[in-house]
Amino acid sequence: MAKNFEGISSMSRQELCELIDYYKNNDPTELFAAADAVRQQYYGKKVYFRGLIEFSNYCKNGCYYCGIRNGNKNAVRYRLSPQEILECCEKGHKLGFRTFVLQSGEDLYYTDDIMCKIITEIKSRFPDSAVTLSIGEKSKETYERYFEAGADRYLLRHETALDDHYAKLHPKNLSLENRKQCLFNLKEIGFQVGAGFMVGSPYQTTENLAADLEFLRELQPHMVGIGPFIPHKDTIFAHEKAGSVKLTLIMLALVRLMLPQALIPATTALGTADPLGREKGLKAGANVVMPNLSPVEHRSDYALYDNKICTGEEAAECLACLSRRIASAGYEPDFSRGDHCSIKFEYCFSRTGTN
């Protein structure tokens, strides 16, 4: 019998657990179709392209699941200079991208002054483009400086919403409380904010996933990143099982139903876990893809997990390949800024300084 997911925005944790378990054990086709229909109400068939620039794999943190964690002596470290980052944007802008996502480990080389200079320079050279940062936990003052410099959006996955699980994935110096506080700070400052979590991370229970949904319902982020956990050979989780693609798609669809206007990427991890993972993600409610604009010579060094896809292609090849895949899945590649649909146009223009 079909499960009723209509009331998802007011379900208790227990009810959310039952919903997740039901679709784990049954055919989720109806859930995916409902999620796809909801996303079409707000965004039609559009799939927004974001140019991802992985600009440094140095990190001061030691997240147990992550291939670029500080303790991994086998990682080949690199960082791009501000000039190299700008060159990636230049290349991306010529290809049509109007959002640049700057992602890195928590690399202290990029002081607030350096980061703000990079943001200001990107915004002044490409005033029609949005800048998204994904560079970890910072003080509220630092986030304010990034925002004043012109950054528009910030991605910071909460990773898991319950303390005991968080503690099994992270060293003692990192706390869920601080990560959540960062997300609330970012929202208060005015960023379009992205949270999110891995599916199938070690020790994760259905209750954890239900709590992730509850946290997203509380935070009401503009973006949600969800991907399967994939082990990395140089971490303590090297021999753990990867997260299930089916369960990842179920969580993605439930998030779409809970936050109908959210921007949700079909992640590279999903494409790594299943050759058609990204297409399946779109059909379960995702509406963003993030092809890589980083220099090819460093791509494979930004290895968060094993066997990451798209590390060998030039940006233009990635773009052409993804555009083709999206069109053949029945969706429309879209290269506009692709803001959250609650954001007014005037606001975006005033933030870019062109109006």
In the annotated binding site for S-adenosyl-L-methionine, the residues are: 159, 179
When computed from its CA atoms, the radius of gyration of the chain, rounded to whole angstroms, is: 19
| Cα–Cα distance measured from residue 44 to residue 160, given in angstroms and rounded to the nearest whole number | 30
H helix or E strand, kind and range, residue 25: helix 13-25
| Cα–Cα distance measured from residue 76 to residue 74, given in angstroms and rounded to the nearest whole number | 6
Contact 107, 59 (CB under 8 A): yes
User: Binding of ligand SAM at residue 105 (CB under 6 A)?
Assistant: yes
**154 is written with which tokens?**
């910030």
Q: Which stretch binds ligand SAM (CB under 6 A): 128-136, 139-147, 207-215, 322-330?
A: 128-136
| Binds 157: which of ligand SAM, ligand FES, none (CB < 5-8 Å by kind) | ligand SAM
User: Binding of ligand SAM at residue 134 (CB under 6 A)?
Assistant: yes
- Starting at the edge strand that comes first in sequence, how are the strands of the sheet with 192-199 ordered? 51-56, 99-104, 130-134, 153-155, 192-199, 223-228
User: Binding of ligand SAM at residue 198 (CB under 6 A)?
Assistant: yes
Binding site membership: which residues?
59, 63, 66, 134, 159, 179
Phi and psi angles of residue 145, each rounded to the nearest 5 degrees, phi first: -65, -45
Within residues 323-342, the interface with ligand SAM by CB under 6 A covers none
User: Binding of ligand SAM at residue 65 (CB under 6 A)?
Assistant: yes
Contact 216, 256 (CB under 8 A): no
Which residues 6+ apart lie within 8 Å of 141 measured at CB?
none
Q: Collapsing DSSP states into helix, strand and coil, what is residue 54?
A: strand
Within residues 248-307, the interface with ligand SAM by CB under 6 A covers 269, 304-305
Which residues 6+ apart lie within 8 Å of 239 measured at CB?
231
**287 is written with which tokens?**
């509406």
User: Binding of ligand SAM at residue 129 (CB under 6 A)?
Assistant: no
Least distance CB 225 / ligand SAM (angstroms): 7
Binding site membership for [4Fe-4S] cluster: which residues?
59, 63, 66
Q: Which stretch binds ligand SAM (CB under 6 A): 90-98, 130-138, 246-254, 317-325?
A: 130-138
Within residues 138-157, the interface with ligand SAM by CB under 6 A covers 156-157
User: Binding of ligand FES at residue 59 (CB under 6 A)?
Assistant: yes
Give the dihedral sign, CA 129/130/136/142: positive
User: Binding of ligand FES at residue 66 (CB under 6 A)?
Assistant: yes
User: Binding of ligand FES at residue 106 (CB under 6 A)?
Assistant: yes
User: Binding of ligand FES at residue 175 (CB under 6 A)?
Assistant: no
Residues that bind ligand SAM (CB under 6 A): 65-66, 103, 105-106, 134-136, 156-157, 159, 198, 227, 229-230, 232, 269, 304-305
Residues that bind ligand FES (CB under 6 A): 59, 61, 63, 66, 68-69, 105-106
